[in-house]
Copies of this chain bind each other. A is one copy, B any other.
Amino acid sequence: MSILVVGSVALDSVQTPFGSAKEVLGGSATYFSAAASFFADVRVVAVVGDDFPEEHLAFLKRRSIDLQGLQRVPGRTFRWAGEYGFDLNDARTLETQLNVFAEFRPEIPEAYKESELVFLGNIDPDLQRQVLRQVRSPKLVAADTMNFWIDRKLEALRETLKSVDVLLINDAETRQLAGEPNLVRAARKILDWGPTSLVIKRGEYGALMVREDGWFAAPGIPLDSVFDPTGAGDCFAGGFIGYLANTMNFEDANIRKAIVMGSVMASFNVEAFSLDRLRRLTYPEIEARYKAFKRLAQFEDL
């Protein structure tokens, strides 16, 4: 089945205690697509400038990602620069240059309009809705957002959420969006606004899925080499939605497996800068790490 993703394609400059990378491939749509491409067909709607390196397009094509919806316009590509301390859970943004992304208006190619799954990356909630108006009848809509939109465009975001099945955000965003410090009550409030599932991303601590019929906690896997957490959330979403697209089963037990697959893809991504770990990742490695998550989390009944 096919996934339509809308989001950013960027050139990132990142500093961590373990090294730095300059103007490397990044962006929410990029990370999402690369991770999801291990499981399903992915169609990208995004924009880059005329300075965007050809080699990056070649990489995405090698992963069979459909770039028909990737607009190429005059000007410079979106750039982000950030740094992380030893606590890799928090990024400090050093610079954001929107460049061609400032005027981005998502246009969905005709061939994309029948996509079964849609992932709305972290962009203006008005643009997220503009995407949804152009697709016919997706079976599952997932979305990301961030504190910036919760602060500035809460009403637009609430409107978007009415059409979203799965919202993926972090702990702090969950509390902020609901205006409620207790995570359980915050999550229940958000489920009242439209989504049937809320996936709370918790960095090294894993992820928590909230649905009306219960909660699922996926652990984070302890890694001895975490180089760069950039894109981990989008790789999580890519593994999660990719696995759902591959199986087209939206029952609780399968959604749990999809969450773990999201954690698996995120865990690989942080092992190297940019998308470098995904470039050399193989499906047997993915299966082996899923098994490692299973060993990590399993315990018997009393």
Chain B CB within 8 A of A127 CB: no
Asked if A219 contacts B222 (CB within 8 A), the reply is no
Q: What copy number does this chain have within its complex?
A: 2
What distance in Å separates the Cβ of A109 from its nearest Cβ neighbour in chain B?
A: 33
Asked if A214 contacts B184 (CB within 8 A), the reply is no
Closest partner residue, chain B, to A219 (CB atom): B217
Do A217 and B206 contact each other (CB < 8 Å), given the known contacts A299-B257, A300-B253?
yes
Listed stretches A73-81, A233-241, A289-297; interface member: A289-297
Asked if B217 contacts A297 (CB within 8 A), the reply is yes
- The contact size tier of chain A is 35 or more
CB neighbours of A222 from chain B (8 A):
183-184, 187, 208, 210, 215, 217
CB neighbours of A298 from chain B (8 A):
256, 297-298
Q: CB within 8 A of A260: which of B182, B218, B253, B299?
A: B299
A260–B181 alpha-carbon span in the complex (Å): 26
Within 8 A of B (CB), among A139-182: 181-182
Do A181 and B217 contact each other (CB < 8 Å), given the known contacts A202-B205, A290-B302, A299-B260?
no
Residue of A216, A260, A296, A302 with highest tally of chain B CB at under 10 A: A302
| Besides A205-B205, A257-B302, 11 other A-B contacts (C-beta < 8 A) | A17-B181, A182-B226, A184-B222, A187-B222, A206-B217, A217-B221, A217-B222, A217-B296, A218-B299, A256-B299, A260-B299
Give residues in A with beta carbon < 8 Å to B. Answer: 17, 86, 181-185, 187, 202, 204-206, 208, 210, 214-226, 253, 256-257, 259-260, 287, 290-291, 294-302
